[in-house]
Amino acid sequence: PRARIEFDPRFTVAEVPERLFGSFVEHLGRCVYTGIYEPEHPTANEDGLRQDVLDLIRELGPTMVRYPGGNFVSGYRWEDGVGPKADRPRRLDLAWGVTETNQFGLGEFMKFCRTVGVEPNMAVNLGTRGLQEALDVLEYANHPGGTYWSDLRRSHGDEEPYGIKLWCLGNEMDGPWQIGQKTAHEYGRTADQVARSMRYIDPELDLVACGSSSRAMPEFGAWEAEVLAQSYESVDYISAHAYYHPREGDFVSFMASAQDMELFIDGVIATADAVGAKLKSDKKINISFDEWNVWYQTAPTGERPEPWAVAPRQLEDVYSAMDAVVFGSLLITLLRRCDRVTAACLAQLVNVIAPIMTEPGGAAWRQTTFFPFAEASKFGRGTVLNVNASAPGIDTAKFGEVSALHSVAVANEDGSTTVFAVNRDLESPLTLEIDASSLPGVGEVTCSTLTDADPHAKNTFEDQTRVAPVANGSVAVKDGTITVELPAMSWNTIRIA
Ligand code: AHR
């Protein structure tokens, strides 16, 4: 089968927002402890950060990291995590049934962000707490000095304010599992009040209201409408969260998971714009897709932690080649819709449904999903172009007929062009023709391809490099047309110099 795409650098979707390549560090399992932070590890720096992990994070290329949760934040007292470590209390973490030692907190997180060079994205607790504590942590973080909370920060060794610009107003407040779950009306009012008061301290903030925890939530749509009816003028983003995994062995539908993400984005934008229209507002609310990934939401037997354990193994999904291709397709959707999805976070960064895995005291390695993210973050910068595509269809039980080809083109800042392309077909390769006649010229063209003869092949502790992208030798250029063979079930990064 053959597919063809064309684009023109004059016809654009949007500039790729810096915040599109965010990730997420939650106090969950071993994401923080023995993930990014392990003072006893042979590679630890003076802040207790694992430098083997820092190196992999730099290679992965996140631009922003959300913290400290997730469900965790809805029971979190941020003050527990600042000041002398010996004085920090151990607490029950009700979200994940474990003990939190608080040896890592806001100050350590800010050191981590500075060391890696990422923007912090901080969430406040609107589950067990509310307006006052949100204002307290903002004053601690962003006020220069001369007040109780800002001077406390300075007494903890951080003279300069952190200048955290992006804040999440709670987490998944629609979810029955959430500590302090709220109705849309209760949450919308709270979000509005918290947002308006936070802006009295710092008018430059960007604020994210909680949208639905997934498109499948019973209140999806109605939740966004009510929350934004209360808070439209005081927030900047509405959040979206989505996790995908194959259901009942239906891998064909799983390969088309990005269809659901697109419908999710369409629905949230339509709802937000409808609220704005009713309010006669010329402001637009954009989406912070601040949790997305493949996640097999079933704990493998034998992995349930002891009650109240410290940093046990939780949600340590091991990803396959197929998972990485679906993951790449989700990245393609985020790029294609980056006119309205202007922030996004891969959930999560290390060990917990993560692209990077570690062993305590031992190695750190790349999961299969590491590669599409690293390539998208490296080469998906610049301006997303409108792409016209023709490709064969695939019948899926879940989404009806979908295109076998899922692709996006980005005009890079250095004058090159990158096409990311997924072949969703599990059986057939696809011959992709790229009409490059609108480009001023075609220099060297390369293609990096991730696939595997075994769709379920994984990178594990025992075999850390089983799956990785390889150079695709099939690229040909003739009369302004680039041709490349996309193997069945593959993620491809085509670079046109
Ligand atoms: O990322 C794992 C969990 O998924 C987060 O804590 C929560 O926000 C979501 O349900």
Cα 69 to ligand 1 centroid, rounded to whole Å: 7
The distance between the two most distant Cα atoms of the chain, rounded to a whole number of Å, is 70
Cα 100 to ligand 1 centroid, rounded to whole Å: 17
User: Are the C-beta atoms of residues 404 and 394 closer than 8 Å to each other?
Assistant: yes
Cα 371 to ligand 1 centroid, rounded to whole Å: 23
- For domain 17-379, say whether CATH 2.40.50.90 is its number: no
Give the model's pLDDT for residue 298.
72
Give the model's pLDDT for residue 235.
98
User: Which amino acid is it at 329?
Assistant: S
- Which residue's alpha carbon is nearest to atom 1 within ligand 1? 347
| Structure-token pair, residue 48 | 């207790």
- Which residue's alpha carbon is nearest to atom 3 within ligand 1? 70
User: Are the C-beta atoms of residues 222 and 183 closer than 8 Å to each other?
Assistant: no
Residues with CB under 6 A from ligand 1: 26, 69-71, 171-172, 213, 291, 347-348
Catalytic residues: 172, 291
Give the model's pLDDT for residue 381.
98
Best of 291, 298, 346, 352 for a ligand 1 pocket test (most atoms within 8 Å of beta carbon): 291
| Structure-token pair, residue 186 | 């209760």
- Which residue's alpha carbon is nearest to atom 7 within ligand 1? 70
- Which residue's alpha carbon is nearest to atom 2 within ligand 1? 70
- Which residue's alpha carbon is nearest to atom 4 within ligand 1? 70
Return d(Cα 146, Cα 357) in angstroms, integer.
Answer: 42
Cα 71 to ligand 1 centroid, rounded to whole Å: 6
Look-up: residue for tokens 């999560």? 348
Residue 335 to residues 40, 158, 288, 465, Cα–Cα distance (Å): 39, 36, 13, 28
Q: What 3-state class would DSSP assign to 326?
A: helix
Q: Which of 152, 131, 161, 25 is closest to 84 using CA atoms?
A: 152
Burial of 126 (C-beta count, 10 Å sphere; 0-12/13-18/19+): buried
Return d(Cα 91, Cα 87) in angstroms, integer.
Answer: 13
- Please list the residue range(s) of the chain that carry CATH number 3.20.20.80: 17-379
What angle is formed at CA 271 by the lines to CA 273 and CA 121, rounded to 5 degrees? 85
Write down the H helix ranges in 6-71: 51-60
Segment 171-216, tens digit of pLDDT: 999 999 999 999 999 999 999 999 999 999 999 999 999 999 999 9
Q: What is the pTM of this model?
A: 0.98
- Which residue's alpha carbon is nearest to atom 5 within ligand 1? 70
Cα 24 to ligand 1 centroid, rounded to whole Å: 10
Architecture of the structural domain at 2-10+385-496? Sandwich (2.60)
Q: Could you identify the atom of ligand 1 that is nearest to the CA of residue 291?
A: 1
Best of 26, 290, 316, 352 for a ligand 1 pocket test (most atoms within 8 Å of beta carbon): 26
Segment 314-369, tens digit of pLDDT: 999 999 999 999 999 999 999 999 999 999 999 999 999 999 999 999 999 999 99
Q: Could you identify the atom of ligand 1 that is nearest to the CA of residue 26?
A: 6
State yes or no: cis peptide before 89, omega within 30 of 0: no
What angle is formed at CA 227 by the lines to CA 224 and CA 229, rounded to 5 degrees? 100
Give the model's pLDDT for residue 355.
98
Return d(Cα 256, Cα 326) in angstroms, integer.
Answer: 7
| Structure-token pair, residue 273 | 């714009």
Cα 70 to ligand 1 centroid, rounded to whole Å: 5
Question: Would the ipTM clear 0.95, i.e. be above it?
Answer: yes
User: Which amino acid is it at 113?
Assistant: C
User: Are the C-beta atoms of residues 139 and 42 closer than 8 Å to each other?
Assistant: no
- Please list the residue range(s) of the chain that carry CATH number 2.60.40.1180: 2-10+385-496
- DSSP result, 431-486: EEEEE-TTSS----EEEEEE--SSTT-B--SSSTTSS--EE-TT-EEETTEEEEEE
Cα 325 to ligand 1 centroid, rounded to whole Å: 22
Q: Could you identify the atom of ligand 1 that is nearest to the CA of residue 293?
A: 1
Q: Could you identify the atom of ligand 1 that is nearest to the CA of residue 213?
A: 10
Return d(Cα 8, Cα 435) in angstroms, integer.
Answer: 9
- Which residue's alpha carbon is nearest to atom 6 within ligand 1? 70
Q: At what angle do helices 131-142 and 106-116 cross, to 10 degrees?
A: 50
Q: Which residue ranges of the chain lie beneath pLDDT 50?
A: none
